[in-house]
Amino acid sequence: MALREVLQFPDPRLKEVSKPITRVDDEIRELARDMIDVMYDEPGIGLAAPQVGAPIRLFVIDTEWSDEEVGRNPMVVINPEISEREGRITWEEGCLSVPDYTATVERDARIRLRGTDLDGNPIEEIAEGLRAVCIQHEVDHLDGILFIDRISRLKRSLYVKKRKKQLAEEQG
Ligand code: NI
């Protein structure tokens, strides 16, 4: 099975605000399965639906996986909401949609995530550290925000320049 392609900056679809999911059908189940495959293949610790061109409010996450299948524990979150936020934390972030770049981003240190799983069961989790950072990063994707939108204008413009050069070389 061919893996879904991850959209990369500056694809305009990454800037769209994704729509809430009202009904989980087979298409969405298949999407979630495919996204989990892509996440482990890339590899990454989270992936949001708009990154594979599906503008709906769903992400997958596994912040502690190891190479062995047994160490994998992917969570699919539908219509996520962050309801409580506490403290601040900085973390070096990267993104499968922002090639060859990482930067330090400041986020909330401790959050409460609510959402539902593929079967409509409620998900509620208090997350901190890397897990909290990753959840906020993925929810940002659903709002059309990339982590490079949360760094200084100077750093961002340097990255944009580097990326444009890279794309020009790929096409050249
Ligand atoms: Ni990302």
pLDDT tens-digit profile of 28-79?
Answer: 999 999 999 999 999 999 999 999 999 999 999 999 877 676 788 999 999 9
How much is the pLDDT for 1? 58
Res 66: pLDDT:
72
> Are the C-beta atoms of 95 and 137 separated by less than 8 Å?
yes
pLDDT at 2: 74
Do 126 and 112 touch, CB atoms closer than 8 A? yes
Give me the mean pLDDT over the 87-105 stretch. 97
Catalytic residue among 42, 81, 138, 169: 138
> How close is the Cα of 70 to the center of ligand 1, in Å?
25
Ligand 1 center from residue 169 Cα (angstroms)? 24
Q: Which pLDDT score is estimated for 145?
A: 98
- The chain-wide mean pLDDT, for the chain, equals 95
66 alpha carbon to ligand 1 midpoint, in Å?
Answer: 19
The model's pTM is 0.95
Contacts of 142 (CB under 8 A, 6+ apart): 17, 18, 48, 49, 50, 57, 59, 80
Mean pLDDT, rounded, for 109-126: 98
Of 63, 14, 68, 58, which Cα lies nearest the Cα of 33? Answer: 58
Complete domains list, the chain, with CATH: 12-170 (3.90.45.10)
Is residue 138 part of the annotated active site? The answer reads yes
